[in-house]
Structure 1
Amino acid sequence: MLILAIDVSKSSLDFFSNFIGSGSVKNSPQGIFDLFSKASSCSNDFILVLESTGIYSFDVASYFYNNSIKVFFVKPDNLKSYRKLLNRPKTDKIDAQLIFDIALKLPDSLIPFVPYSEIITELRYLTRLYLKLNEDIARLKLRLYSYVSLYFPDLDFKLNKTFSSLLKDFTIEDIAKKPINELFEYIASVSKHRVSAHTLAQKLKDLSKNALRLRPNPSNSLRLSIISTLELINTYEKQIKSIKSEISKLIKRIPNTLTTVNGIGDITAAGIIAEIGDINRFKNASSLASYAGLTWSIHQSGNFIAQDTFLKKNGNKYLRTYLVLAANSLRIHNPIFKEYYRKKYKESYNHHHMRALILSARKLVNLVFYLLKNNVPYVPMK
């Protein structure tokens, strides 16, 4: 079997083969073309094997595939384990040879490359960006709460329009000096009478006076940090709203039955489908679970088998995240998953919620595999 193995980086393609030798070309359209020309001039009956490195490996994999070459990915954790087993350092040239060895000795471990449609590719970009922006906004909110606690001690701050407007429009000194009736009218107007304006106005007056006794000159830098962070959060929320709208449009163009499950919406379904791609790449639900990193380590000694084992987390982190998000929704909206979660919660020795949730996500993999494989709507068991 003729094999061309490539270690992909942002700038280069280091290759090793048993028919054109080894070397390196630039990871660019010209470099990919040159490598393909060199390989195809010797043979058209070879396979390309490379490590999946996201956007950096997509172009070279697509080009060879579109020119009738079979393309496979080696799992990053397999490469890492093989390198450790052989006690090899990590370098691009050595990794290319290790990829070649894995392809030659462990061909069943390879994952066939399937070209994603434009919609799937766009969904992957958007759903990953959606997760990233949500992570960023969560960090911003934590930072905001720490700023507020330092600037306005004892304030029971809530991230809503009322409190945000108050902190943007008034300093602590302004709140302390402002007549109670004017503060009441302001809160009633901003909150649209959704909060007890009189109670909140009086509480703010008392807290502001206490804060000024503690620190007669509140930090202007802290207030500026609060206002800037509030504006950043508002910007992120607008971006997330726009991204969600685009994801919902795209997922409706892909025939799927995941959204027939009560608790799985457009965004979650899109995230799962974008990371899986073609379900036919996976032989069964177990291989899909392994790809998502929803497998557990085994700790056994003699007749003892540990119950408290760890999730390996060496698969596709984006797919795992969306499966966990979906499982968290299903434990509320789906009676079967609700009961399963409750059962696993009681069985757990510690970290009850997280263990029950991860196990629910693993159960969900079976359902996802079945629905996508058979393209049938979800029918709840009675």
Structure 2
Amino acid sequence: MKKADLLSTLFVGIDVSSRENVVCAIDYEAQKLLRFSVPNNHPGAIEMAEKLHAFLYGNRDINKLMLALESTSFYGIHIANYLSSCELLMPFHTHVYCLNPKMIANYKKSYIDLGKNDAVDAFVIADFARVGRITTAPWRGSQFLALQRLTRHRLHIAASLTREKTYMLSNIFLKFSQLSMLHEDQQPFSDHYGATASSVLTDFLSTEDIANMPLQALIDHIGQKGKNRFVNPGHTASLLQQAARNSYRLDKCLYEPLTLSIASSFNLISAYESEIKAINKAIEKTLKGLDPNAYHSLLSIPGIGPVYAAGIIAEIGSIDAFNSHSAFAKYAGLVWRENQSGNFRADDTVLSKAGNSYLRYYLIEAASHVKNHIPEYAAFYHKKYDEVKTHQHKRALALTARKFIRLIFGLLVNHQLYSKSRVSQI
């Protein structure tokens, strides 16, 4: 921003909480021009806009407005959305920024004599904007927020699904101990959470019922529940009975509670999987209203599917928000802090993790798939894996994700599809 623009800009810091928004407005000389608080609701947002408009309208020397607030959970979403699209403030070239709280906290440490209250925090945010420390793009409004809420909710449901499956395994081990201990080639079911596995674990009260059941009756039961899809139902039934005979026996009072718990977990797993399918459709529908070029550019990368492509787009919005792949990496928190003093340089550097944790998750998970499909990334991963003796996989995968960022940035900026001839040059 040019100095003339800075001199004519009102820098506004907003300390957001669940109940109220505390506002502090300063000029380029750090003079406090406004300080007030409003409720964190729609009437409060209108009041804030009217007070800012009244001040700007009465001060002809200030004709630009920069508003900054911390990205604290979801409490700031409504006010950022409202101010960025407020018609009353549009004549003042309004820009709204949601800032990383860690950056504000570290900046505040430069003031050794400041206390802690909402008014002080609002001033620090405004001053952070005044000195030109903001490097992120302005608030992009509801366009990508809808997709972001869907992709983040899908991630939440997927995490709940994984947690439920892990939890259910403990109950399965208690009821049918040997089933969960079998090697993969000895497992009777290819899908441990399928209809047949569910039936065996919930229709039979105990392992003794399975062990003592006539083999043909068990074969018929498996065939019926598996809709006759088993290639060799007799072999499956034999494996199941052998596992039942080798399992620990429990007191009879334990079998019914365990069976009910396992049945409940299967119901939850089925519900989670059904919800994920519905969310996938909603994500696909929402994507059609955004820039399809970015989506297809990401889908063209081997190993990247709709889930990771949608997640990355939802978190970065437009690639125009970043002036380089380094800025992109910093926003994702995939940068490493140098540890050097004099002739000493530490071999072990710490990953920042100060950026967008959701974006970092999608990038790392996507990189894990990409390395299995693109030889250049597989070679890079193994090279980094062999460089150290501790944290090999995590380190190599994070570095591969950092390399992957350059590919994403290049494709999105140039509106290109993936090409093998281009990957080694990025």
Q: TM-score, normalised by structure 2?
A: 0.83
3-state SS of paired residue (2:336): coil
* TM superposition shift of 1:26: 1.0
Q: Aligned pair in 2 of structure 1 residues 145, 35: CA closer, same or farther (>3 Å)?
A: same
- Distance in 1 (alpha carbons) for counterparts of 2:36 and 2:108: 20
1:150 alignment partner, one of 169, 174, 197 = 174
- Distance in 2 (alpha carbons) for counterparts of 1:177 and 1:93: 74
- Matched with 1:346 is 386
* TM superposition shift of 1:133: 0.9
1:13 alignment partner, one of 12, 21, 24 = 21
Q: Which amino acid aligns with 1:93?
A: A
**Is 1:3 matched with 2:11?**
yes
Q: Which amino acid aligns with 1:35?
A: M
Between stretches 46-55 and 237-246, larger displacement belongs to 46-55
Q: Aligned pair in 2 of structure 1 residues 322, 113: CA closer, same or farther (>3 Å)?
A: same
Indicate if the aligned counterparts of 1:327 and 1:360 stay in contact, CA closer than 8 A: yes
Q: Deviations over 1:291-338 (max 9, x none)?
A: 101011222243222222221111101111111111011001122212
Between stretches 355-364 and 64-73, larger displacement belongs to 64-73
Across the aligned residues of Structure 1 and Structure 2, the Cα RMSD in angstroms comes to: 2.3
Q: Which amino acid aligns with 2:213?
A: K
- Matched with 1:99 is 125
- Distance in 2 (alpha carbons) for counterparts of 1:169 and 1:340: 50
- Matched with 2:282 is 246
* TM superposition shift of 1:108: 3.6
- Distance in 2 (alpha carbons) for counterparts of 1:229 and 1:155: 17
**Is 1:365 matched with 2:402?**
no
**Is 1:136 matched with 2:160?**
yes
Q: Which amino acid aligns with 2:261?
A: S
3-state SS of paired residue (1:15): strand
Between stretches 354-363 and 193-202, larger displacement belongs to 193-202
Mapping of 1:152-167 within 5 angstroms?
Answer: 152-156=176-180, 158-167=192-201
- Matched with 1:204 is 240
Q: Which runs of 5+ in 1 are unaligned?
A: none
Indicate if the aligned counterparts of 1:7 and 1:92 stay in contact, CA closer than 8 A: yes
Q: Which amino acid aligns with 1:143?
A: Y
Number of aligned pairs?
380
**Is 1:279 matched with 2:319?**
yes
* TM superposition shift of 1:195: 5.7
Indicate if the aligned counterparts of 2:81 and 2:142 stay in contact, CA closer than 8 A: no
Q: Which amino acid aligns with 1:78?
A: M
- Distance in 2 (alpha carbons) for counterparts of 1:200 and 1:217: 29
3-state SS of paired residue (1:112): coil
Indicate if the aligned counterparts of 2:178 and 2:246 stay in contact, CA closer than 8 A: no
- Distance in 2 (alpha carbons) for counterparts of 1:233 and 1:98: 47
3-state SS of paired residue (2:55): coil
Q: TM-score, normalised by structure 1?
A: 0.91
Indicate if the aligned counterparts of 1:5 and 1:48 stay in contact, CA closer than 8 A: yes
Q: Aligned pair in 2 of structure 1 residues 156, 112: CA closer, same or farther (>3 Å)?
A: closer
1:225 alignment partner, one of 261, 266, 271 = 261
- Distance in 2 (alpha carbons) for counterparts of 1:90 and 1:268: 40
1:187 alignment partner, one of 222, 236, 240 = 222
Q: Which amino acid aligns with 2:127?
A: D
* TM superposition shift of 1:210: 4.8
- Matched with 2:363 is 323
- Distance in 1 (alpha carbons) for counterparts of 2:394 and 2:38: 45
- Distance in 2 (alpha carbons) for counterparts of 1:29 and 1:102: 26
* TM superposition shift of 1:60: 2.2
**Is 1:77 matched with 2:102?**
yes
Q: Which amino acid aligns with 1:364?
A: F
- Distance in 2 (alpha carbons) for counterparts of 1:219 and 1:171: 6
